[in-house]
């Protein structure tokens, strides 16, 4: 008998004994040798590539899996690693034995990972399992991972940077047409998810103790299982699960915004509900004012790179309909982010970069989304974040002509919104010339500087929009003329309006400077631009006279024309 045959018989006999042993039949994972035998049998089947061997081992694998699933609620040991090993066999040889792995995979997420996501070994093994089999998931189970992305986010939120690199490889597989929009919200709210999970641990006991037995004695896992049932099966959690008046209650109150954060699921519209709760602002402020836990510090660093992956996929692989639907969501969430200064800065930067890239790729989005854009312009004074968002939207409107030449009606409406914003700024109260005695001089100076910057952006957008759509030129001259004649203390504002008025008197120059950033359809380049790459074939003189333009005094060269132009 060969070494391979002896190993085969030994490991197959281990599976059979485990099935007959009354001590391990009800808790298969309690036998450490069983996991090793499952892995070795799978390796042998892969190496031999024999359908006969696969057919012999499959019934034992199936029995082990079913017993492990049945023992999940009473097991005193972790079942995750054993289930993952058996599932690997199902994925490798499912076609040979006609086994559909989809129900088994769903059991792994719903019944096992929902209990054991806080176990470092199970969490890491799960992500490695998903990475190794990502092609099979994409081809055979494309909708499975997107359905369970809230659970997988709990994995990375709880373990932080330790699993950050692995999760970045898994993240693309979580994106589908159904999960695309809510996944963005969940990634932005990853710090809030950490706060919610730590709240569960504080109020109900540790999510992971020295062993599964210690976990069974506290209410935290039971509560999280109830959350999973609510999110994935639609069951209802009864009121009174916890005392909402007690800070150290045994469970989070059903009406708590943190409870709803844990409950997020992509299919039932819960993704934004917690932000409408009156208590969310107080909870966030309390979290910011308290010392950050190591887990929260890690996720504040981890979330922005995850957004980089998400936005990269959105720009290169997602269709225009979903991209267009994402932009209003970005606008609405721009000012509702976990209030940590560094985290907010990193998220804001990525949101703006993506929005401007999306508008560059599809300028017609500006016309399609004119209503949410106009709403954001109307909120320009509500907070510094909304002011910055309005600035960037003003730039995009002007740069892309309100959506292009074919969207004249939308461009006119956007122009009117810019006019309104401009006239509001011209009033004394909007410019901050009437100082509020209750505000410090630094805040007043910052407010003036911020609004002057906003005015400069609005003036530029009005001039560029009128250059794109010539029918708006008369109104633009009137608007900019009022600014140029106004008594504004900041010279940058009226000087910019005056300069643009002067440009508008020279149509060719104005079109070259303020015209479309991309050539109009059917033309090689926009009017007024010179393509210097063609200079070698279109020069009409031996000397590039444009180099001598606007120079005074003696020539800067030391040669004569006779040395350059040959005599005949």
Is residue 373's pLDDT more than 50?
yes
Model confidence band, residue 440 (pLDDT cutoffs 50, 70, 90): low
Of the candidates 441, 335, 325, the residue with the CA atom closest to the CA atom of residue 381? 335
The mean pLDDT value of the chain amounts to 79
CA angle 209, 215, 216 (to 5 degrees): 160
Higher pLDDT, 491 or 430: 491
Is residue 272's pLDDT more than 80?
no
Q: How far apart are CA 170 and CA 127, in angstroms?
A: 7
pLDDT of 540 reads: 47
* Own/partner pairs, 355-359, CB within 8 angstroms, 24+ separation: 355/327, 355/330, 355/331, 355/392, 355/396, 356/392, 356/395, 356/396, 357/315, 358/315, 358/323, 358/326, 358/327, 359/396, 359/399, 359/400
Residue 140: its H or E element: helix 134-140
Is residue 520's pLDDT more than 90?
no
Q: How far apart are CA 114 and CA 154, in angstroms?
A: 9
Three-state secondary-structure class, residue 190: helix
Of the candidates 451, 460, 455, the residue with the CA atom closest to the CA atom of residue 501? 460
Q: How far apart are CA 561 and CA 42, in angstroms?
A: 86
Model confidence band, residue 380 (pLDDT cutoffs 50, 70, 90): confident
Cα-Cα end-to-end distance for the chain: 102
Contacts of residue 48, defined as CB under 8 A and 6 or more positions apart, other chains included, come to 4
Q: How much is the pTM?
A: 0.81
Model confidence band, residue 129 (pLDDT cutoffs 50, 70, 90): very high
Residue in this structure with the two tokens 């009005």, named with its chain if needed:
462
Model confidence band, residue 510 (pLDDT cutoffs 50, 70, 90): confident
Contacts of residue 400, defined as CB under 8 A and 6 or more positions apart, other chains included, come to 359, 360, 363, 366, 516, 517
CA distances from residue 418 to 446, 459, 482 in whole angstroms, order as listed: 22, 8, 14
User: Cβ of 178: how many Cβ atoms within 10 Å?
Assistant: 14
């Amino acid at each position: 008998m060969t070494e391979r045959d002896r190993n085969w018989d030994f490991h197959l006999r281990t599976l059979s004994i485990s099935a007959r042993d009354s001590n391990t039949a009800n808790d298969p994972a309690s036998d450490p040798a069983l996991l090793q035998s499952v892995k070795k049998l799978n390796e042998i089947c892969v190496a031999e590539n024999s359908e006969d061997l696969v057919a012999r081992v499959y019934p034992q694998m199936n029995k082990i899996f079913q017993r492990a699933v049945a023992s999940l609620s009473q097991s005193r040991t972790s079942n995750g690693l054993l289930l993952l090993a058996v599932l690997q066999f199902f994925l490798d040889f499912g076609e040979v034995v006609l086994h559909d792995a989809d129900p088994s995979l769903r059991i792994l997420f719903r019944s096992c990972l929902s209990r054991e996501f806080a176990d470092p070994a199970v969490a890491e093994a799960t992500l490695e399992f998903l990475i190794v089999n990502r092609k099979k998931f994409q081809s055979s189970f494309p909708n499975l991972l997107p359905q369970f992305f809230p659970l997988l986010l709990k994995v990375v939120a709880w373990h932080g940077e330790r699993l950050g690199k692995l999760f970045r490889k898994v993240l693309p597989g979580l994106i589908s047409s159904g999960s695309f929009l809510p996944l963005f919200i969940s990634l932005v709210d990853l710090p809030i998810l950490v706060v919610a999970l730590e709240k569960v641990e504080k109020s109900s006991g540790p999510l992971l103790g020295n062993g599964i037995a210690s976990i069974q004695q506290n209410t935290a896992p039971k509560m999280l299982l109830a959350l999973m049932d609510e999110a994935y099966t639609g069951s209802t959690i009864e009121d009174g699960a916890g005392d909402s008046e007690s800070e150290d209650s045994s469970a989070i109150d059903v009406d708590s915004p943190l409870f709803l954060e844990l409950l997020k699921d992509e299919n039932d519209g819960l993704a934004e509900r917690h932000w409408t709760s009156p208590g969310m602002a107080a909870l966030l402020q309390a979290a910011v004012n308290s010392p950050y836990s190591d887990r929260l510090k890690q996720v504040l660093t981890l979330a922005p790179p995850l957004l980089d992956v998400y936005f990269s996929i959105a720009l290169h692989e997602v269709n225009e309909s979903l991209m267009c639907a994402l932009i209003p969501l970005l606008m609405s969430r721009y000012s509702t982010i976990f209030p940590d200064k560094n985290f907010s800065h990193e998220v804001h930067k990525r949101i703006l970069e993506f929005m401007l890239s999306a508008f560059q790729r599809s300028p017609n989005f500006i016309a399609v989304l004119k209503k949410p854009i106009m709403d954001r312009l109307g909120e320009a004074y509500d907070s510094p974040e909304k002011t910055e968002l309005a600035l960037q939207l003003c730039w995009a409107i002007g740069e892309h002509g309100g959506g292009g030449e074919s969207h004249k009606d939308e461009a006119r409406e956007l122009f009117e919104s810019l006019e309104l914003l401009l006239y509001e700024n011209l009033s004394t109260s909007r410019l901050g010339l009437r100082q509020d005695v209750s505000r410090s001089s630094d805040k007043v100076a910052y407010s003036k500087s911020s609004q002057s910057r906003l005015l400069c952006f609005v003036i530029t957008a009005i001039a560029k929009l009128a250059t794109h759509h010539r029918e708006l030129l008369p109104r633009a001259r009137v608007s900019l003329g009022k600014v140029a004649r106004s008594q504004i203390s900041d010279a940058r504002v009226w000087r910019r309006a005056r300069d643009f008025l002067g440009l508008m008197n020279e149509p060719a120059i104005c079109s070259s400077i303020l015209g479309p950033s991309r050539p109009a359809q059917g033309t090689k380049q926009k009017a007024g631009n010179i393509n210097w790459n063609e200079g070698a074939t279109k020069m009409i003189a031996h000397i590039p006279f444009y180099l001598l333009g606007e120079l005074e005094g003696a020539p800067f060269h030391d040669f004569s024309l006779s040395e350059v132009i040959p005599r005949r």
